[in-house]
Structures are given as structure tokens and as C-alpha cells.
Amino acid sequence: MASAKSSTKGEYHVAGKYRLVRKIGSGSFGDIYLAMNIANGEEVAVKLESVKARHPQLIYESKLYKILQGGVGIPHIRWWGVEKDYNVLVMDLLGPSIEDLFNFCSRKFSLKTVLMLADQMINRIEFVHTKNFIHRDIKPDNFLMGIGRHCNKVYLIDFGLAKKFRDSRTRQHIQYREDKNLTGTARYASINAHLGIEQSRRDDMESLGYVLMYFNRGSLPWQGLKAGTKKQKYERISEKKMSTPVEVLCKNFPAEFAMYLNYTRGLRFEEPPDYMYLRQLFRILFRTLNYQYDYVFDWTMLKQKAANSATVANGGTTHMATVGHVTYLKVWPPGSASCRQFSLQRVQLIIILSLCKEGSRLQVKTLKTVFLYWVQFCMYIQFSVL
């Protein structure tokens, strides 16, 4: 690699204080490196992009990170700028992506893990929206877990495709448009994005719905479709997505997932999503199933099992598994979550929450507000503010 500055033979530095150690990721934009602060040995991540890139996005992304700084689950930026032939972004080192962890867990998450992730993921997207931007590439690869004392916190990354949907001063929303090219990842793109409609907040939320069902099912019905060209493949994905009823996509899973998708698909272009309503759908389900919000994800159990035994029972051999750039001891994956029936309490809460949602649309907000305060009070001990 001939990037950044070279001080001694074989060593490369950026910003005069970070030494690149090894590559830990790559993408269409360039490469990500593990780097070390020369002064104190602290590890960071360095994102490099050639200044000659056909569609450079790192400087734009750096400016957006600056706007988002201070938000929970937004990586802290140490430095950004241009050095020689590269745009450079230095940020906190994070853990593996949720896609990496999904593979680590044999491509199936328990319902408890999906619900704990959903709660944080909705929060992250909502925060970005409050800053007047939409992400436009919501997918498992763009959600990372933290490390150290932040290992249970979900981070949202990769804002190269993000777009401002509302003027910060006037609060004027962007105009509805059609004939737009698909931006983002086709697998998780909203139906409107496939149809060439300008994206808005509703599209980020719909994409998250597909991500959650991907975690539940292990795959989505429109994966693995063959086509001669990328355009034809996108068309096939779009056709399959539109022809698959939500009830079929979410079959054998709790009704809340179908409710989530039906709600997000029904939003108008400029309509703000009711993030609280969507969170409470999953929080009520979580509580009804008697889960504990203890941050014990499926991969946490794998690591705990590994820690409890120095070696895996196989002739005393210890097996290692690399998740992203983090290495864990790998043991037998946990069993799938057992099936549970709807409880009367849960059905009642779903009906009330749905009625409140209709009341909100009719501008009758009092009942909904009282109900949400009641739910928050009941679950105060169970949920931390993330």
C-alpha cells in the first residue's frame, strides 16, 4: 500500500500520530485499517479512499459524522482530511458488524436477540432523522457492536449514501420525485425505492423491517435470484418483494413484525414515522414473553460458554472463530427459541396500541399519550435508555 505517510520502512502513518497496522475491511469506497496511536498505543479505525475515486464520498461522510457527533451509537471521529493521494477518516475502533455476528451464530438469531436489536436500531435511525438526514442504506453490515464497556451498544455507520431530507432552518421537506435510480442495497430497499420514488424517512424504517425479518428467517424470499445483468436482478428482486404479501413474509413469527411492515409501508412521503409506536410494538412483545433486558445476545452466550471452558470437548482442542476483526472462542451454537402462543394480555395491548395509532391519525392524541406513559412506567425497570 502506498497510502498516507511513511516514516520508517514498512510503516505508514496518518495525521502524524496513527500507525496503520493491518487491513480489517474494504468496500467500494476503499479500505479500512486497524491503526494505533503512536503516543499511547490506543487502537483506532482508519478509513482510506483514493482522491481519484470515481464517486468520492469519504469527505462528505466525514462532514456528516461531524453533524451527528454526540449521538448515542454514532462513532466518535478523531480526525479527517486529505493526505497525499487519499481521503482519510480516523474514528473509534468498533466491534464486528451484526452481519458478522449473524454468521457467527449460524445465521439465525433468537427472538429475544432480534427484539433487543430492534429497540436500539430504531433509536439510531430516529436520531439520524432528528438531524434532518436519512441513511438510505440500512442493512446488517452497517450496524456494528461496540467494544469494551460499550460491547452491548449498537452503532450505525457508513453515511456515504445519506441525504438531507429537510432544511435545518426552515424545516422544509424535500420534494416528491420519481424516476430516481435505486440507492442502497437492493435486498433491503423499500418498495418505493425500487419504483424510483425519492426516499424519505419511511424508507429507512421499511428497510429495517426487512433486516429484522432477515434475522428471524435466516434469509429473505428475494435472495439468490439469478439474472443476466444487475438491472435485471434488481427488477426480479423488486417483483418478488412486491408479490410477497407481508403476512407470508412474516408467517410463523409474531404478528408485531407484520404490523411494523404494514405501518411503514403505509406512511406518506413526508409523514414522520411514529418511532415510539414502533418501539412499543416490540417492547410489549418482549415483556409479554417474559424476556429480561439483560444484554445477553446470542453471541454473548457463545462467548460465555467459551469462557467457562478452556477447551471445547473435542480431544481438548480449542476452536477459534473470527467475527469481523475480533476473535472469539467458538462453541456449539445455542438452540433456536421455543415457540410461544399469543397471551391474552399481549393481544389486548396490541389492540389498544392499534386503536391509539388510529386515534393519532384522527388527531385524538390524548388516549395515545396516556397509554404510552403507562407502558413506559410499566417497563421503566426493564429497559434502559439507549
pLDDT score at 197: 98
| Boundary residue ending a domain (233, 263, 298) | 298
Out of 271, 298, 325, pick the residue that ends a domain: 298
Q: What is the CATH number of the domain that holds 25?
A: 3.30.200.20
Flag the least confident range among 68-72, 239-243, 303-307.
303-307
pLDDT band, residue 308 (cuts 50/70/90): confident
| 246 and 280 fall within a common domain | yes
Q: How far is Cα 268 from Cα 347, in angstroms, rounded to an integer?
A: 27
Statement: residue 336 has pLDDT above 60: no
Which residues form the catalytic set? 137
Whether the pTM exceeds 0.75: the reply is yes
For residue 75, tell me if it sits in a domain: yes
pLDDT at 26: 79
Assess whether 88 and 108 both reside in one domain.
no
* Domain-located, residue 100: yes
Let me know: does 22 contact 34? Beta carbons within 8 Å: yes
Q: Quick: pLDDT tens for 145-164.
A: 999 999 999 999 999 999 99
- Indicate if 274 and 228 belong to the same structural domain: yes
Average pLDDT, the chain: 84
- The answer to whether residues 279 and 203 belong to one domain is yes
Q: DSSP letters of 154-187?
A: EEE---TT-EE-B-TTT-PBPPP--SPPP-S-GG
- Whether the per-residue pLDDT at 377 is higher than 80: the answer is no
Which tens digit of pLDDT belongs to each residue from 42-83?
A: 999 999 999 998 888 999 999 999 999 999 999 999 999 998
109 with 198, same domain: the answer is yes
Evaluate whether residue 338 is within a structural domain.
no
- Please indicate, yes or no, if residue 364 is contained in any of the structural domains: no
Q: Which of 147, 143, 177 is nearest to 159 (CA)?
A: 143
Residues 87 and 152 in one domain: no
Query: Does 246 fall in a domain?
Result: yes
Task: Locate 201 and state its grid cell.
Answer: 424517512
For residues 63 and 141, membership in a common domain is answered with: no
> What's the pLDDT at 99?
98
Q: Are residues 104 and 190 in the same domain?
A: yes
pLDDT of 321 over the 70 cut: no
For residue 116, the model assigns a pLDDT of 99
Cell numbers 454514532 correspond to what residue?
Answer: 74
- What number is the average pLDDT over the span 211-233? 96
Of 368 and 230, the one with more pLDDT: 230
pLDDT value, residue 370: 44
Domain closes at, from 298, 319, 349: 298
User: Number of structural domains, the chain?
Assistant: 2
- Same domain, yes or no: 148 and 270: yes
Percent of the chain with pLDDT over 90: 70
A 10 A CB-CB count for 213 gives 23
Per-residue pLDDT for 359 more than 60?
no
Place of cell 418501539: 279
**pLDDT, tens digit, for every residue of 164-188?**
999 999 999 999 999 999 999 999 9
pLDDT band at 112 (very low <50, low <70, confident <90, very high): very high
More confident residue, 121 or 373: 121
Residues 64 and 175 in one domain: no
**Residue 246 C-beta-side C-alpha neighbours within 13 Å:** 19
The domain in which residue 71 lies consists of 20-34+43-92
Do both 145 and 255 map to the same domain? yes
Residue 30 and residue 11: Cα distance in Å, rounded? 19
Residue 114 forms part of a structural domain? yes
Tell me, yes or no, whether 242 lies in a domain: yes
Instruction: Give the pLDDT score at 322.
Output: 52
- Picking from 68, 97, 62, 67, the residue whose alpha carbon sits closest to that of residue 81 is 62
Task: Tell me what pLDDT residue 30 has.
Answer: 80
Q: What is the pLDDT of residues 266-302, one digit of tens each?
A: 999 999 999 999 999 999 999 999 999 999 999 998 8
Averaged over 141-148, what is the pLDDT? Answer: 96
Q: Please list the helix, strand and coil fractions of the chain in percent, rounded to the nearest 5, in that order.
A: 40, 15, 45
Q: Is a pLDDT exceeding 80 seen at residue 352?
A: no
CATH number, domain containing residue 214: 1.10.510.10
Mean pLDDT calculated for residue range 245-271: 99
Cell 433491503 belongs to residue: 188
In this structure, are strands 43-50 and 86-92 parallel, antiparallel, or unpaired? antiparallel
Q: Is position 177 within any domain?
A: yes
Judged by phi (left if over 0) then psi (alpha if -120 to 50, else beta), residue 271 lies in beta
Q: Are residues 150 and 285 in the same domain?
A: yes
pLDDT at 109 over 70: yes
* For range 256-272, the mean pLDDT: 99
Nearest to 276 by CA among 158, 357, 352: 357
